[in-house]
């Protein structure tokens, strides 16, 4: 483990108790360090360990949570005050690097220069007067998102879904969209995810040459809860630096915000706090707000956040899920049933929503087409029980036509992704919003009523589907 710098700091405390990730430290005389201040425990055998003050137990003792493993520490170890919250390196020097919660590099390359600027991870959100009220849209090239749940530059979007429905793949595709369509910076926060995923993302980014405009910040599931709890703050501080000091637009991706809440719950339990609803920490709402309110557009540049949110046991009423949902502009809900049917991306067009789907923001035509698509698919779902019991033959002519168009719309809103090319063998595509609207209008107007619905599956534009349909017809005529 890299040794943390101790220059210019005086020893002022002693470790008096260690219980896993919780460390009690006694100070003599000079008063206690503030809540959220960083402290460094110096152990002669294993080097420096970073901890953060969480509570004042009495006039001489603080309770801290470790941000690094505490194995090997013992009572009596010396403790150094930092005099401020944890500070992490920021700016162009961290581009293309993989960092941990303390800002130390973890990619096997040379360490960052000593003169790299640093900022504290605990900061206030921008003043309300400095925030921009713009509603510029962030075009992703993903048909179903751009059509039904448009994202805002400087806004917050969350991808809600249970295990294995495609949250991480969607986040990875959005990184490609940012790099391809916008000359911005991407900051990726891996919160409580598997080590394998971190290695895969780093190697994928090196191969696709997008790493030079990306910063990766990881606090993985094999690290202490304190690291997983604070790693989003580290990533957000780096993003704020690019927005405020470098005057760049930033895409902040977090995978997975539920793990941030989960780590906070672990920390709360370790500190002896009484649990709240469903066993979550009593500070759930304030912890989520402290993170989310710092994500904003300010002074002409934006941080756009896209957050993957694990939904435990597919329960969307879980307190963590509802608390996070209260802060986001766009909710992209992934459906296990759609994934089982092969509809990728497995985004539920009915449950997903966005406050930006408003004629004043997206225009009247976009809003009209989106609502018509939603109504058609929703009516099809209402008829599914009848179809499964009695068959399509029992439906009236109008309902039968609507069902066929709804099935075509569902297939048209699928598309191959760049990040899945290696698995599917299908080249990924990015589709402009105008082409998506044109395709949906054609299906809703009946232009494709005599097409085979498989012609609309896993394609980009309607022209691709038309070419696929013509090929299929020629093949059928030849046979």
**With contact defined as beta carbons under 8 Å apart, do 184 and 248 qualify?**
yes
In the three-class reduction of DSSP (H, G, I as helix; E, B as strand; rest coil), residue 416 is classed as coil
475 is annotated as an active-site residue: no
Rounded to whole angstroms, the Cα distance separating 90 from 105 reads: 12
Rounded to whole angstroms, the Cα distance separating 217 from 98 reads: 6
Residue 166: count other Cβ atoms within 10 Å of its Cβ: 22
Rounded to whole angstroms, the Cα distance separating 338 from 346 reads: 5
- Show the tokens assigned to 80: 């150094």
Q: What is the DSSP string of 103-151?
A: S-B-SSSPPPPTT--EEES--PPPPGGGB-----EE--S-HHHHHHS-E
194 is annotated as an active-site residue: yes
| Location of structure tokens 């780590």 | 263
**With contact defined as beta carbons under 8 Å apart, do 308 and 256 qualify?**
yes
367 is annotated as an active-site residue: no
Q: Which among 93, 67, 341 is positioned nearest to 219, based on CA atoms?
A: 67
Q: Which among 388, 410, 391, 402 is positioned nearest to 454, based on CA atoms?
A: 410
What letter does residue 279 receive in the DSSP assignment?
G
- Show the tokens assigned to 230: 């604070």
Which is catalytic among the residues 52, 87, 104, 193? 193
**Residue 62 backbone class (left: φ over 0; alpha: ψ -120 to 50; beta: rest):** beta
Which is catalytic among the residues 81, 167, 213, 248? 167
Cis status, amide bond into 345, omega within 30 of 0: yes
Q: Which residues, 6+ apart, have CB-to-CB distance to 337 below 8 Å?
A: none
Q: What is the DSSP string of 74-107?
A: -TT-EEEEEEEE-EEE-SGGGTT-EE-TTS-B-S
**Residue 29 backbone class (left: φ over 0; alpha: ψ -120 to 50; beta: rest):** left
Dihedral over Cα of 395, 408, 165, 433: its sign: negative
- Show the tokens assigned to 236: 């957000």
Which is catalytic among the residues 194, 277, 368, 474? 194
Length of the chain: 479
- Show the tokens assigned to 463: 């022209």
In the three-class reduction of DSSP (H, G, I as helix; E, B as strand; rest coil), residue 364 is classed as helix
Q: Which residues, 6+ apart, have CB-to-CB distance to 375 below 8 Å?
A: none
Active site residues: 167, 193-194
């Amino acid at each position: 483990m890299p040794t943390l710098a101790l220059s210019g700091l005086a020893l002022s405390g002693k470790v008096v108790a260690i219980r896993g990730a919780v460390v009690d430290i006694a100070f003599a005389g000079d008063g206690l360090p503030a809540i959220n201040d960083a402290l460094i425990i110096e152990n002669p055998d294993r080097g420096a360990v970073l901890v953060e003050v969480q509570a004042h137990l009495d006039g001489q003792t603080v309770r801290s949570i470790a941000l690094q493993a505490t194995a090997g520490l013992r009572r009596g170890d010396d403790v150094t005050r930092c005099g401020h919250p944890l500070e992490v390196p920021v700016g162009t020097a961290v581009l293309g690097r993989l960092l941990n919660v303390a800002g130390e590099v973890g990619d096997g390359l040379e360490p960052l220069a000593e003169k790299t600027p640093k900022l504290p991870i605990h900061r206030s959100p921008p003043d309300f007067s400095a925030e921009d009220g713009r509603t510029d849209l962030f075009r992703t090239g993903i048909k179903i998102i751009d059509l039904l749940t448009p994202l805002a530059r400087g806004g917050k979007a969350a991808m809600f879904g249970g295990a294995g429905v495609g949250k991480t793949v969607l986040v990875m595709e959005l990184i490609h969209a940012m790099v391809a369509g916008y000359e911005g910076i991407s900051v990726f926060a891996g919160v409580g995810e598997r080590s394998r995923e971190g290695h895969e993302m780093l190697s994928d980014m090196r191969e696709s040459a997008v790493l030079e405009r990306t910063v990766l910040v990881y606090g993985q599931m094999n690290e202490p809860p304190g690291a997983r709890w604070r790693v989003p703050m580290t990533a957000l501080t780096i993003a704020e630096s690019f927005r405020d000091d470098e005057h760049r637009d930033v895409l902040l991706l977090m995978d997975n915000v539920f793990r941030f809440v989960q780590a906070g719950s672990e920390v709360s339990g370790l500190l002896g706090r009484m649990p709240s609803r469903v066993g979550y920490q009593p500070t759930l709402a304030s912890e989520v707000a402290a993170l989310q309110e710092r994500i904003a557009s300010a002074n002409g540049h934006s941080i756009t956040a896209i957050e993957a949110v694990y939904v435990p046991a597919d329960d969307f009423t879980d307190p963590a899920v509802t608390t996070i949902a209260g802060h986001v502009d766009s909710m992209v809900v992934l459906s296990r049933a759609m994934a089982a049917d092969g509809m990728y991306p497995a985004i539920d067009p009915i449950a997903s929503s966005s406050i930006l789907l408003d004629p004043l923001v997206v225009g009247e035509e976009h809003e009209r087409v989106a609502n018509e698509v939603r109504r058609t698919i929703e009516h099809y779902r209402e008829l599914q029980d009848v179809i499964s019991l009695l068959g399509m033959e029992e439906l009236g002519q109008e309902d039968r036509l609507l069902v066929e168009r709804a099935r075509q719309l569902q297939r048209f809103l699928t598309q191959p992704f760049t990040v899945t090319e290696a698995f599917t063998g299908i080249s990924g595509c990015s589709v402009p919003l105008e082409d998506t609207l044109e395709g949906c209008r054609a299906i809703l107007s009946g232009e494709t009523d005599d097409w085979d619905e498989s012609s609309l599956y896993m394609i980009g534009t309607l022209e691709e589907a038309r070419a696929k349909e013509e090929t299929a017809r020629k093949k059928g005529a030849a046979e």
